[in-house]
Each structure stands twice: as structure tokens, then as C-alpha cells.
């Protein structure tokens, strides 16, 4: 079982790659962005707080994001009541739930403090972050992709001003996370400006190598 963090600026394709990898490797996919948007859609108190922050392009506070992530990791990874979690796991022919072989997290961590918190959460679950894949895309391409997405998604955080602010927030607060993981030797950077399939193939090679090395220990 390996656990991956997929990392990149807004528009880098984290969500797309994470979904493809989750299907291919039977990973549990946890997207903090999706978790937040679910809270917004349900109109929960957390969702109402998060929406105002997200609409400005700011990072949602650690108290909110960590609480949602911790809940997702604990309930979906340990599945104390499998019958209640059938929508989270593939079902084999006999109808028995099958636990995912690993976990892929996208949209978190976005600050060094969040990275440290994630380490703590994973230790509680007797897991480790085995690899951090950073998808590198030039800024002009990021802006083009987000504008293109905005044309079809109607997301309130995809306006021109918010896009610029989100990228600035990434440069200021999130890029230092790369150095945090680089020091521990877990960071791998891939070119995300190519076709989705080529980027995905490269990430798959990385995951296979990490899995092989971990199994040899």
C-alpha cells in the first residue's frame, strides 16, 4: 500500500491525473477541493464559511481543511462499517467491499504547516506519504487552462481576478511545500504541459518504481 500526494498550481491538472491514477491503481482518491465543494453544495455551516473564502481565491483555513481531510482519511481508509461505505470501494463479484490499495491526495497540503499536519494524520493511521508528484506547468498555460475550464464549469472561483490571485497565493504559500518534501527525498517533478496521457504515463512509471522500492524494504 502506497500513499501519494499530487501537487501543482491551479490548472496544472491535479484532479484529472488523480482520478486517472485512482482508477488504474485502485487508490482511494481524496480531493480537498471536492470535499469543500460538497460542503458548499449541501449548504453546511462549514460550506458557507468556505464559499466566501474560495470566491475570493484565498486558501481556506487549516481548521476547516484539516477537519474535512481527517474525517475522510479515517472513515474511508479504515472503513469501520464497510456496508456503509460501498460507494467508496469497488465491489467484487461476491458483493464484498474491497479496500483500496493506497491513497492519493490532491489539493492538500498547500502550506508547510499543512504538510506537517498531514504527516501527523498519516502516522495516526499507521501510514506514510511515500511520494509527492509535482506537476509543473508554465504560468501562461495555467491561465489558459483555467479560462477554458471557466467557460464550461461556472465555478465562482474561476474569474480572471480570482485566477490571478490564486496563482499568486500558490507562489507565495504553496511553493515552499515543495522544498519541505524535497529535503526528505520524496519529491518528483513531472512536465504537465504535455498531453494528459503522456503526463499520466510518466506518473504511472514513478508510482510503479516507488511501489517496487517499498516492497523491497
* pLDDT value for 91: 36
Number of helices (H) and strands (E), helices first, in the chain? 9, 5
* pLDDT value for 52: 84
pLDDT digits (tens, 9 = 90+) for 106-145: 988 988 888 999 999 888 888 899 999 999 999 888 888 8
181-200 burial by CB neighbour count: b if 16+ within 10 A, else e? Answer: beeeebbbebebbeeeeebb
pLDDT digits (tens, 9 = 90+) for 148-161: 877 776 665 567 77
Do 32 and 111 touch, CB atoms closer than 8 A?
A: no
**pLDDT above 90 coverage of the chain, percent:** 30
Q: Global pTM?
A: 0.77
Peptide bond into 109 cis (omega under 30): yes
- In eight-state DSSP terms, residue 38 is H
Give me the chain's average pLDDT, please: 81
Do 21 and 31 touch, CB atoms closer than 8 A?
A: no
What structural domains and CATH numbers belong to the chain?
A: 3-216 (3.40.50.300)
Amino acid at each position: 500500500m502506497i500513499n501519494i500526494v499530487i501537487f501543482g498550481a491551479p490548472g496544472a491538472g491535479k484532479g484529472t491525473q488523480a482520478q486517472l491514477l485512482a482508477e488504474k491503481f485502485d487508490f482511494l482518491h481524496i480531493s480537498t477541493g471536492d470535499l469543500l465543494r460538497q460542503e458548499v453544495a449541501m449548504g453546511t455551516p462549514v460550506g458557507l464559511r468556505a464559499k466566501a473564502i474560495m470566491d475570493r481565491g484565498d486558501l481556506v483555513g487549516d481548521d476547516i481543511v484539516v477537519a474535512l481531510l481527517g474525517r475522510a482519511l479515517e472513515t474511508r481508509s479504515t472503513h469501520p462499517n464497510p456496508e456503509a461505505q460501498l460507494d467508496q470501494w469497488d465491489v467484487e463479484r461476491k458483493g464484498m467491499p474491497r479496500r483500496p490499495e493506497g491513497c492519493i491526495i490532491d489539493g492538500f497540503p498547500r502550506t508547510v504547516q499543512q504538510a506537517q499536519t498531514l504527516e501527523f494524520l498519516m502516522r495516526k493511521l499507521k501510514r506514510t506519504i511515500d511520494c509527492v508528484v509535482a506537476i509543473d506547468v508554465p504560468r501562461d498555460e495555467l491561465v489558459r487552462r483555467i479560462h477554458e475550464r471557466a467557460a464550461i464549469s461556472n465555478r465562482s472561483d474561476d474569474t480572471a481576478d480570482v485566477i490571478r490571485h490564486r496563482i499568486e497565493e500558490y507562489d507565495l504559500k504553496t511553493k515552499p511545500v515543495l522544498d519541505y518534501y524535497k529535503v526528505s527525498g520524496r519529491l518528483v517533478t513531472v512536465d504537465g504541459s504535455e498531453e494528459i496521457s503522456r503526463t499520466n504515463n510518466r506518473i504511472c512509471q514513478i508510482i510503479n518504481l516507488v511501489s517496487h522500492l517499498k516492497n523491497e524494504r
